Structure 1
Amino acid sequence: LRMKEQAMAWGATQVVNVRMETTNIGTNSNGIEVIAYGTGIR
């Protein structure tokens, strides 16, 4: 949702080619980090 909100703030009407990456946080932790990015278009 944050990606969509930021794209709209920059004047984009859509976000295309969205990609997601995940990373484990720590070696003994159950936490993960999720990063999503894409291209905003008008």
Structure 2
Amino acid sequence: MTKLIDTIAQFLAESEEHLDQLAQKNQAARQSLTATTNDSKKETT
């Protein structure tokens, strides 16, 4: 039973790490998109 709990705990830790990485990529993509949008607005005005 303890081995199962350890396995689940490890899985959750890895999942959390993966989610953190996705959040960072998402943030970077949003910043890039915002910069691109702002550049486009400057060109059209």
Place the TM-score, normalised by the shorter chain, in its bin.
under 0.3
Compute the TM-score of the two structures, normalised by the length of structure 2: 0.24
Structure with a larger share of its residues in strand = 1
Compute the TM-score of the two structures, normalised by the length of structure 1: 0.26
Give 1 or 2 for the bigger CA radius of gyration. Answer: 2
Structure with a larger share of its residues in helix = 2
